[in-house]
């Protein structure tokens, strides 16, 4: 089937459809039929999704479904490349706009387009009546275009361009309600913090170019021997490249210490939080590191750094999430924490190169499942916000089980998946990450390091279950309470919102079940060119058991503390007063930034201002003073009285006459 | 310019003339007008001494000196009089004296026309305006001159330049060295044949200013200029009518 | 018939011109300024006729006729302009018309106490064009805080 379909011919459809939708809204849609601005976007995303699924089917060799277990590694892995046009050609630098798709790309594209399609349908209900309705959908379409191009980019430079573009869309969407000072500040913060990471990324790209002489993926990853040669020749440079690329990932994926922008980004509309700041954009860093696996496998130090940063982030974010009262903030810190998980997995191959394929596969798998269950959690939170009159503080409502049945079900599904309840999505993906970390900790050389990482991962797993269900119980259980803003009868999600919620909820529950035990996802991903050979993977029953126990303990503890006897949680809060505050304030990281980075910079700016005002300005004033001095000398002549001018004319006449006469006399 | 001591002879009348004008120009505290007048007359007399001695027809010379002195004195009185009405009348007298000079230069038609245009039209109109505008008497601005010393000094510098140059090469053909050495104004050749510009057929002095010669010259050689002058007059008339204030715009 | 020496006539013309110039430069009455200009024209006319006489041709007199014509035009236009100016300020003082000067200079009409004939009459109908002052210091956004 699909014989007419040539993937490299229609590759461009995936990003082009949202771009067209964006242009349509910008040029026409924001004037005509504003309330239907979501339609072109929904249509375009449906087209993109269809194209992405076609790509998914065609990008790997046919017969994959049958021969997956045995023949996959033997068959030549390949990528589909669509050369659009030559972009830069300066000296030795040749950069073209090239679309490149392989198995990893196809999976990312399916995830991006499907989640964004559902989120856009949800947003058409959620954003209804907002004055910026067309602007919202234009930004979303632009974001999906940028994200698809980022994933499809055929070289590092093009990837960087769209890396910046998604950052721009994120800025636009966080600051969507730019009248709110907090939203404007959050957008600025996100942009500035991201910039630090982007700077690292572009430095890494420069270094790649000076080292390898090319930035093209195909040329780089297609020649593993070249990479190995350089890695052995100059390991310092090579590790530096990996570090710099990872700095880019830190910024985009909100890892410690640049994670501070993501919780603030929740000022944007909730669908944006679901789409960009949970499911897709923040995973770009994970994608980048996964894409550069051929580099990272040769730099164990960088891998350990990745794992260490991931562990630190996961732990810090989980601790912070324990005490948040803002429902969306709990989810934001949870996102940061789960991204840390993915990086832990990506860094797991530092101990043993043979683990690399599994490590990447499980990181990507966790990203995939996380996209679905985090999207459903955010959208459910959005639904709660919608019916509570934009109140999001969990202390102000409770017992919404009866009032919002659909939202309750979907939120529960998302929470169970996130907590790693057995047989649900999060269980499979998280379990595999724990397994690969366990394998890494068995290594003789770096085993101790990875034991610590594993411990952190287990602790985080416990905390994840606890804080997720803390939020769930605080919101949906207990005594039924509504804030005044909600009105008398809070209504559940309208159909446009309920549909995507239910679809995502089902996906959150069962995506892992379909892909996890069958290894469908993993074997598909192994077709990505550049991944090293891997041993067969067998489930780690020990880790599975531990993780189930931890999840159940976390859920149980939350149930005990917030439903059975709420006094326990109150007592706990009182008993650990300073610690509670410390956690609530995100380990005071914002305060540290203010104290040690923002304030010194402000002082510098003040000094520059004084210098500008009292040194540069004075010089400029002096320069300006000279002509004005001349002007002051000559000004009295110009006093506006006609006789004065006539007198000057007489002076000129006398002078002319005398000089002419002198000349004549001299000539005689 | 080659400076010779004889050139200094001119400085005295110029300095006296400047002093006289400066003395007489109106200012806040009035000065004795007689003293100023005497200085002015003295300046004229000193100047007369440097001028060539009268040569020729006595009646003609007397008339010339009389008209020239009248024109200069009346001009001086005009620019120094406080009362603008008197100044206008002094101007009329100057015009009459200048017309006398015209007559001596055998320009009777011109003299008549100037009297008609200036004394008959322009001065009368000016007088009307002055009387219209200054019903309350002399304005304060008429009692004080603007920068009298500076302005008259400059003007006399210009005059001195003119006179020195005249003294240096009074003759158009430049044979003036001998006479210049005596500090006197050179005499130009009285024979018109020496000049290229002179026209022999019209050499009869009586004929030059006659209506017939003037009319022939105007309407043959200067026809375009006459037409242009007529156009200028027309445009000026229209312009004056357009610019002059209307009754609807208020009272004078 | 003999004629007066040319240079004597030129001297008379030069003196009349200088006197007219002094009047033009010093008098503050608009009408007297115009009359002084006419006096300068007289000096020129004397010169022209003297030269015409000297060369024995009518060109000097023809030019004088043109001077006369231009003087008549000038007088007519000047009078109408003076009347318009007078109507605005109710005075013939030329010092009241210093609008083209720099703002911060000394106002000459106020320099002496006795020469304060009329106060400036503000004409409500006067709608003079005025320029935006150039070189205004821009407000610094920094100091605004």
Tens digits of residue pLDDT in A71-82? 334 344 567 777
Give me the pLDDT at residue B171, please: 44
Q: Give me the percent of chain A exceeding a pLDDT of 70.
A: 92
Whether C138 shows a pLDDT value over 60: the answer reads no
Of A636, A642, A650, the CB nearest to C105: A636
Alpha carbon of A294 to those of A218, A225, A533, A535: distances in Å?
12, 11, 11, 17
Q: How confident is the model at residue A4 (pLDDT cuts 50, 70, 90)?
A: low
A128 part of a folded domain: no
Could you tell me if A644 and A628 lie in one domain? no
Spatial separation of the C-alpha atoms in residues B121 and B100, rounded to whole Å: 19
B204 part of a folded domain: no
Domain of B91 in residue numbering reads as: 5-186
B129 part of a folded domain: yes
Residues A19 and A141: beta-carbon distance below 8 Å: yes
Spatial separation of the C-alpha atoms in residues A330 and B87, rounded to whole Å: 101
Over residues C70-96, the pLDDT tens digits come to: 999 999 899 888 888 888 888 888 888
A434 part of a folded domain: yes
Could you tell me if A566 and A655 lie in one domain? no
| Residues of chain A contacting B161 with CB distance shorter than 8 Å | 654, 657-658, 661
Go through the domains of chain C in sequence order and give each one's CATH number: 6-92 (1.10.287.3510)
Residues C75 and B230: beta-carbon distance below 8 Å: no
Measured in angstroms, the CA of B174 and the nearest CA of chain A are apart by 10
Q: Give me the percent of chain C exceeding a pLDDT of 90.
A: 31
Over residues A99-137, the pLDDT tens digits come to: 888 888 888 888 889 888 988 888 888 888 788 888 888
DSSP lists the bridge partners of residue A326 as: A393
A374 part of a folded domain: yes
Whether A273 shows a pLDDT value over 60: the answer reads yes
> pLDDT: is A464 or B27 the higher one?
A464
A60 part of a folded domain: no
Over residues A531-569, the pLDDT tens digits come to: 766 666 666 778 788 888 888 888 888 888 877 777 777
Q: Would you call C47 an interface residue with chain B, using a CB distance cutoff of 8 Å?
A: no
Whether A420 shows a pLDDT value over 70: the answer reads yes
Q: Chain C residue with minimal CA distance to B138?
A: C117
Give me the pLDDT at residue A234, please: 81
Q: Pick the range with the lowest mean pLDDT from A213-227, A229-243, B194-208.
A: B194-208
Give me the pLDDT at residue B74, please: 93
> pLDDT: is A296 or C128 the higher one?
A296
| Residues of chain B contacting C66 with CB distance shorter than 8 Å | 225, 229
Measured in angstroms, the CA of A659 and the nearest CA of chain B are apart by 10
Of B154, B165, B169, the CB nearest to A647: B154
B72 part of a folded domain: yes
Q: How confident is the model at residue C115 (pLDDT cuts 50, 70, 90)?
A: very low
Q: How confident is the model at residue C137 (pLDDT cuts 50, 70, 90)?
A: low
**What secondary structure letter does DSSP report for B121?**
I
Spatial separation of the C-alpha atoms in residues A658 and B161, rounded to whole Å: 7
Give me the pLDDT at residue C117, please: 44
Measured in angstroms, the CA of A643 and the nearest CA of chain C are apart by 5
Cβ <8 Å between C61 and B107: yes
What is the 3-state composition of chain C as percent helix, strand, coil, each rounded to the nearest 5? 60, 0, 40
Q: Where are the strands (E) in B61-209, listed by range? A: none
Could you tell me if A431 and A451 lie in one domain? yes
> pLDDT: is A623 or B250 the higher one?
A623
Name the nearest CA neighbour of B205 among C61, A549, A233: C61
| Residues of chain A contacting B169 with CB distance shorter than 8 Å | 668
Could you tell me if A233 and A309 lie in one domain? yes
A237 part of a folded domain: yes
Give me the pLDDT at residue A68, please: 39
Q: Domain count for chain A, please give it.
A: 3
Could you tell me if A461 and A594 lie in one domain? no
Q: Taken in order A609, A610, A616, A622, is the CA torsion positive or negative?
A: positive
DSSP lists the bridge partners of residue A81 as: A100
A62 part of a folded domain: no
Q: Domain count for chain B, please give it.
A: 1
**Residues in chain B with pLDDT < 70?**
1-7, 52-56, 169-208, 247-252
Q: Which residue has the tokens 């002078």?
A: A655
CATH for B159: 1.20.120.1200
Over residues A351-381, the pLDDT tens digits come to: 677 777 888 888 888 888 888 888 888 888 8
Domain of A615 in residue numbering reads as: 588-635
Could you tell me if A617 and A541 lie in one domain? no
Best-predicted range by mean pLDDT among A468-477, A490-499, A584-593? A468-477
Give me the pLDDT at residue B170, please: 54
Cβ <8 Å between A638 and C26: no
Whether C112 shows a pLDDT value over 70: the answer reads no
| Residues of chain B contacting A658 with CB distance shorter than 8 Å | 161
Could you tell me if A219 and A267 lie in one domain? yes
Give me the pLDDT at residue A606, please: 92
Could you tell me if A617 and A565 lie in one domain? no
Could you tell me if A366 and A297 lie in one domain? yes
Other Cβ atoms closer than 10 A to A423:
14
Alpha carbon of B88 to those of A276, B79, B83: distances in Å?
94, 9, 9
- Burial of residue A401 (number of CB atoms within 10 Å: 0-12, 13-18, 19+): middle
Q: Give me the percent of chain A exceeding a pLDDT of 90.
A: 6
Query: How far, in whole angstroms, is CA A317 from its chain's centroid?
Result: 16
Please state the three-class secondary structure of A415-482 as a single string. Answer: HHHHHCCCCCHHHHHHHHHHHHHHHHHCCCCCHHHHHHHHHHHHHHHHHHHHHHHHHHHHHHCCCCEC
Cβ <8 Å between B1 and A654: no
Q: How confident is the model at residue C14 (pLDDT cuts 50, 70, 90)?
A: very high
Over residues A174-186, the pLDDT tens digits come to: 888 888 888 888 8
**What secondary structure letter does DSSP report for C89?**
H
- What value does the mean pLDDT of chain A take? 82
B210 part of a folded domain: no
Spatial separation of the C-alpha atoms in residues A636 and A71, rounded to whole Å: 99
Tokens of C74: 């000038």
> pLDDT: is C7 or B65 the higher one?
B65
């Amino acid at each position: 089937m699909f014989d007419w379909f040539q993937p490299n011919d229609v590759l461009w459809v995936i990003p082009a459809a949202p771009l067209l939708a964006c242009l349509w809204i910008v040029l026409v849609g924001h004037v005509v039929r504003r309330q239907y601005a979501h339609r072109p976007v929904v249509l375009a995303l449906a087209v993109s999704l269809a194209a992405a699924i076609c790509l998914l089917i065609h990008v790997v060799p046919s017969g994959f479904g049958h021969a997956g277990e045995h023949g996959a590694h033997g068959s030549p892995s390949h990528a589909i490349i669509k050369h659009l046009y030559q972009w830069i050609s300066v000296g030795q630098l040749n950069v073209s706009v090239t679309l490149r798709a392989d198995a990893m790309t196809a999976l990312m594209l399916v995830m991006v387009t499907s989640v964004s399609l559902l989120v856009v349908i949800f947003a058409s209900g959620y954003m209804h009546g907002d004055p910026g309705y067309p602007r919202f959908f234009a930004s979303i379409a632009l974001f999906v275009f940028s994200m698809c191009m980022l994933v499809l980019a055929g070289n590092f430079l093009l990837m960087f361009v769209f890396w910046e573009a998604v950052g721009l869309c994120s800025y636009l969407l966080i600051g969507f309600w730019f009248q709110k000072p907090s939203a404007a500040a959050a957008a600025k913060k996100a942009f500035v913090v991201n910039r630090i990471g982007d700077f690292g990324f572009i430095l890494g790209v420069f270094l790649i170019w000076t080292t390898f002489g090319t930035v093209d993926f195909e040329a780089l990853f297609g020649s593993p021997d070249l990479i190995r040669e350089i890695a052995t020749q100059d390991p310092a440079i090579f590790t530096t490249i990996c570090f710099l690329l990872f700095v880019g990932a830190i910024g985009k994926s909100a890892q410690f210490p640049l994670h501070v922008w993501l919780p603030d980004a929740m000022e944007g509309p909730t669908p944006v939080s679901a789409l960009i700041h949970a499911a897709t954009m923040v995973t770009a860093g994970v994608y980048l590191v996964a894409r550069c696996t051929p580099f990272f496998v040769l730099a164990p130090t960088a891998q350990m750094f990745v794992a260490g940063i991931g562990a630190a982030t996961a732990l810090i974010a989980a601790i912070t999430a324990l005490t948040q009262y803002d429902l969306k903030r709990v989810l934001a810190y949870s996102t940061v924490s789960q991204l840390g998980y993915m990086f832990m997995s990506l860094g797991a191959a530092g101990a043993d190169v043979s683990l690399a394929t599994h490590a990447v596969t499980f990181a990507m798998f966790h990203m995939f499942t996380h996209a679905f269950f985090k999207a459903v959690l955010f959208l459910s939170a959005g639904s709660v916000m919608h019916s509570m009159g934009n109140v999001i503080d969990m202390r102000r409502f409770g017992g919404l089980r009866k009032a919002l049945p659909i939202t309750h079900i979907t939120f529960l599904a998302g929470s169970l998946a996130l907590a790693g309840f057995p047989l649900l999505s999060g269980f499979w993906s998280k379990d595999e990450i724990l397994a690969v970390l366990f394998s890494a900790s068995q290594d003789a050389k770096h085993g101790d390091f990875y034991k610590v990482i594993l411990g952190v991962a287990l602790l985080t797993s416990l905390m994840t279950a606890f804080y997720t269900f803390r939020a769930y119980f605080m919101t949906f259980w207990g005594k039924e309470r509504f804030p005044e803003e909600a009105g008398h009868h809070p209504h559940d999600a309208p159909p446009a919102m309920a549909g995507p919620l239910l679809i995502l909820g089902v996906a959150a529950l069962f995506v892992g079940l379909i892909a996890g035990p069958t290894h469908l996802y993993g074997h598909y991903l192994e077709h990505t060119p550049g991944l090293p050979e891997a041993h067969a993977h067998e489930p780690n029953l020990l880790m599975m058991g531990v993780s189930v126990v931890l999840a159940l303990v976390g859920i149980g503890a939350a149930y005990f503390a917030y439903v059975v006897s709420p006094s326990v949680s109150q007592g706990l809060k009182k008993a650990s007063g300073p610690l509670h505050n410390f956690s609530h304030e995100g380990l005071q990281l914002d305060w540290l930034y203010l104290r040690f980075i923002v304030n010194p910079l402000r002082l510098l700016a003040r000094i520059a201002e004084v210098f500008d005002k009292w040194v540069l300005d004075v010089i400029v004033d002096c320069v300006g003073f000279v002509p004005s001095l001349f002007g002051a000398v000559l000004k009295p002549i110009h006093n506006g009285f006609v006789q004065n001018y006539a007198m000057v004319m007489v002076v000129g006449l006398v002078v002319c006459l005398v000089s002419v006469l002198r000349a004549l006399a001299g000539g005689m | 310019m080659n400076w010779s001591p004889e050139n200094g002879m001119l400085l005295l009348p110029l300095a006296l003339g400047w002093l006289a004008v400066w003395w007489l120009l109106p200012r806040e505290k009035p000065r004795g007008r007689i003293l100023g007048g005497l200085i002015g007359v003295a300046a004229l007399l000193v100047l007369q001494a440097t001028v060539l001695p009268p040569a020729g027809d006595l009646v003609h010379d007397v008339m010339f000196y009389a008209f020239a002195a009248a024109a200069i004195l009346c001009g001086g009185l005009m620019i120094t009089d406080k009362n603008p009405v008197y100044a206008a009348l002094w101007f009329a007298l100057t015009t009459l004296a200048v017309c006398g000079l015209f007559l001596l230069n055998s320009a009777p038609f011109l003299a008549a026309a100037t009297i008609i245009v200036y004394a008959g039209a322009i001065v009368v109109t000016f007088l009307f305006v002055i009387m219209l505008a200054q019903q309350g008497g002399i304005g304060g601005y008429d009692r004080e001159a603007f920068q009298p010393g500076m302005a008259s000094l400059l003007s006399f510098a210009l005059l001195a330049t003119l006179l020195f140059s005249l003294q240096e090469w009074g003759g158009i053909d430049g044979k003036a060295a001998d006479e210049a050495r005596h500090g006197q104004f050179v005499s130009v050749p009285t024979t018109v044949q020496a000049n290229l510009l002179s026209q022999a057929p019209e050499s009869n002095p009586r004929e030059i200013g006659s209506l017939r010669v003037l009319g022939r010259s105007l309407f043959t050689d200067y026809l375009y200029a006459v037409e242009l002058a007529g156009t200028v007059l027309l445009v000026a008339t229209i312009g004056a009518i357009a610019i002059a204030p209307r009754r609807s715009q208020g009272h004078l | 018939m003999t004629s007066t020496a040319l240079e004597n006539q030129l001297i008379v013309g030069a003196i009349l011109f200088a006197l007219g110039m002094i009047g033009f430069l010093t008098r503050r009455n608009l009408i007297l300024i115009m009359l002084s200009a006419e006096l300068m024209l007289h000096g020129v006319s004397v010169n022209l006729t003297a030269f015409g006489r000297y060369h024995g041709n009518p060109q000097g007199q023809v030019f004088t006729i043109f001077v006369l014509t231009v003087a008549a035009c000038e007088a007519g236009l000047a009078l109408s302009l003076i009347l318009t100016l007078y109507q605005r300020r109710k005075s013939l003082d030329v010092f009241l018309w210093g609008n083209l000067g720099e703002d911060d200079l000394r106002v000459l009409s106020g320099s002496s106490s006795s020469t304060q004939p009329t106060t400036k009459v503000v004409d409500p109908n006067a709608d003079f064009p005025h320029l935006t002052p150039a070189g205004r210091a821009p407000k610094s956004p920094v100091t605004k805080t």
